[in-house]
Amino acid sequence: MALMINEDCTACDACRPVCPNEAISAGDPVFVIDPLRCTECVGAEDEPQCCLVCPADCVVANPEWPESPNDLQAKYDQLHI
Protein backbone atom coordinates (compact mmCIF):
# COMPACT_ATOMS: atom_id res chain seq x y z
CA MET A 1 0.00 0.00 0.00
CA ALA A 2 1.46 3.33 -0.99
CA LEU A 3 1.53 6.02 1.66
CA MET A 4 0.09 9.51 1.45
CA ILE A 5 0.56 12.81 3.27
CA ASN A 6 -2.39 14.39 5.02
CA GLU A 7 -3.30 18.00 5.72
CA ASP A 8 -1.22 18.16 8.91
CA CYS A 9 1.96 18.46 6.79
CA THR A 10 3.96 21.60 7.58
CA ALA A 11 6.04 21.39 4.36
CA CYS A 12 9.25 21.09 6.38
CA ASP A 13 10.99 19.08 3.62
CA ALA A 14 12.44 16.48 6.02
CA CYS A 15 10.91 13.55 4.14
CA ARG A 16 11.71 14.30 0.52
CA PRO A 17 15.49 13.65 0.64
CA VAL A 18 15.19 10.37 2.59
CA CYS A 19 12.86 8.63 0.12
CA PRO A 20 14.75 5.89 -1.75
CA ASN A 21 12.33 6.11 -4.66
CA GLU A 22 12.16 9.88 -5.15
CA ALA A 23 8.42 9.57 -4.57
CA ILE A 24 7.95 12.76 -2.56
CA SER A 25 7.61 16.24 -3.96
CA ALA A 26 6.62 19.65 -2.70
CA GLY A 27 2.96 20.40 -3.23
CA ASP A 28 0.64 23.27 -2.46
CA PRO A 29 0.10 23.47 0.45
CA VAL A 30 1.21 19.99 1.60
CA PHE A 31 3.86 17.64 0.23
CA VAL A 32 2.74 14.83 -2.06
CA ILE A 33 3.68 11.15 -2.44
CA ASP A 34 3.48 9.63 -5.92
CA PRO A 35 1.70 6.30 -5.37
CA LEU A 36 3.34 4.90 -8.49
CA ARG A 37 6.73 5.32 -6.81
CA CYS A 38 6.04 4.68 -3.09
CA THR A 39 6.84 1.12 -1.96
CA GLU A 40 6.56 1.79 1.80
CA CYS A 41 10.35 1.58 1.43
CA VAL A 42 10.07 -2.16 0.67
CA GLY A 43 13.18 -3.10 -1.29
CA ALA A 44 15.36 -0.47 0.37
CA GLU A 45 14.67 -0.10 4.09
CA ASP A 46 13.09 -1.96 7.00
CA GLU A 47 10.46 0.71 7.55
CA PRO A 48 9.08 3.79 5.82
CA GLN A 49 11.75 6.45 6.09
CA CYS A 50 9.38 9.37 5.61
CA CYS A 51 7.35 8.25 8.65
CA LEU A 52 10.52 8.04 10.71
CA VAL A 53 11.60 11.60 10.02
CA CYS A 54 8.24 13.37 9.83
CA PRO A 55 7.80 15.68 12.84
CA ALA A 56 4.09 16.15 12.12
CA ASP A 57 3.17 12.44 12.03
CA CYS A 58 1.16 13.09 8.90
CA VAL A 59 2.20 10.24 6.60
CA VAL A 60 -0.59 7.67 6.45
CA ALA A 61 -1.69 4.69 4.37
CA ASN A 62 -3.28 5.47 1.02
CA PRO A 63 -6.42 3.28 0.96
CA GLU A 64 -6.74 3.64 -2.80
CA TRP A 65 -3.54 1.67 -3.30
CA PRO A 66 -3.92 -1.77 -1.68
CA GLU A 67 -0.75 -3.72 -2.43
CA SER A 68 0.85 -6.83 -0.96
CA PRO A 69 4.50 -6.92 0.11
CA ASN A 70 5.23 -8.80 -3.11
CA ASP A 71 3.51 -6.08 -5.13
CA LEU A 72 5.63 -3.45 -3.37
CA GLN A 73 8.83 -5.36 -4.04
CA ALA A 74 7.89 -5.72 -7.71
CA LYS A 75 7.23 -1.97 -7.88
CA TYR A 76 10.62 -1.27 -6.32
CA ASP A 77 12.36 -3.61 -8.76
CA GLN A 78 10.63 -1.92 -11.68
CA LEU A 79 11.78 1.50 -10.47
CA HIS A 80 15.38 0.44 -10.07
CA ILE A 81 16.17 -1.65 -13.15
Q: Is 63 left (phi over 0), alpha (psi -120 to 50) or beta?
A: alpha
Quick one: which of 1, 49, 65, 75 contacts ligand SF4 (CB under 6 A)? 49
User: Is residue 48 a contact residue for ligand SF4 (CB under 6 A)?
Assistant: yes
User: Is residue 56 a contact residue for ligand SF4 (CB under 6 A)?
Assistant: yes
Identity of the residue, 3 or 67, whose beta carbon is nearer to ligand SF4 in the bound complex? 3
Size of the site for ligand SF4 (CB under 6 A): 29
Distance CA 20, CA 48 (A): 10
User: Is residue 72 a contact residue for ligand SF4 (CB under 6 A)?
Assistant: no
Q: Which amino acid is at 34?
A: D
For 37, what's the count of Cα atoms within 13 Å in the CB-facing half-sphere?
12
Distance CA 52, CA 15 (A): 9
Residues making contact with ligand SF4 (CB under 6 A):
3, 5, 9-15, 18-21, 23-24, 31, 33, 38-41, 48-50, 53-54, 56, 58-59
